[in-house]
């Protein structure tokens, strides 16, 4: 039950983030900012890639394998989130 609660919280928190991103104009979403990430779109791609990494670990990959998978996907995901700035109604599904 504990793991299920954590997962449900994770889904809820991600949905709140996505709902907020939907309120941003494409210009604000892609605007360069002074932060750990250079834009909101980069932060969003980071969230996705970290989730992807942990789902791979939960499926039995070693941490190194999961990190490699995430690194290989990084450029593609960053481009995807830049292109989707004005259409966040697409449901993002993990494996």
What would the two tokens of residue 88 be? Answer: 């966040």
Burial 25-58 (b: 16+ CB within 10 A, else e): eeeebbeeeeeeeebbbbbbbbebbeebbeebee
Check whether 95 has a pLDDT greater than 50. no
Tell me which residue range forms the domain holding 52: 2-83
Q: What pLDDT was estimated at residue 65?
A: 96
Q: Is residue 93 part of a domain?
A: no
Range name among 17-31, 48-62, 77-91 with the lowest pLDDT average: 77-91
Q: Is residue 88 part of a domain?
A: no
Q: What pLDDT was estimated at residue 61?
A: 95
Q: Is residue 51 part of a domain?
A: yes
Task: List pLDDT tens digits, range 20-52.
Answer: 877 878 788 778 888 888 888 888 888 889 999
Q: What pLDDT was estimated at residue 31?
A: 81
Q: Is residue 61 part of a domain?
A: yes
Q: Is residue 26 part of a domain?
A: yes
Q: Specify the number of domains making up the chain.
A: 1
Q: Is residue 37 part of a domain?
A: yes
Question: Do the beta carbons of residue 81 and residue 48 sit within 8 Å?
Answer: yes
């Amino acid at each position: 039950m504990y793991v299920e609660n954590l997962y449900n919280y994770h889904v809820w928190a991600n949905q709140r983030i996505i709902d907020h991103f939907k309120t941003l104009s494409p210009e604000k979403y892609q605007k360069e900012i002074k932060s750990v990430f250079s834009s909101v779109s980069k932060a969003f791609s980071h969230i996705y890639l970290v989730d992807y990494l942990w789902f791979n670990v939960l499926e039995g990959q070693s941490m190194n394998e999961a990190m490699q998978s995430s690194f290989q996907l990084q450029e593609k995901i960053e481009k995807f989130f830049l292109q989707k700035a004005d259409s966040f109604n697409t449901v993002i599904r993990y494996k």
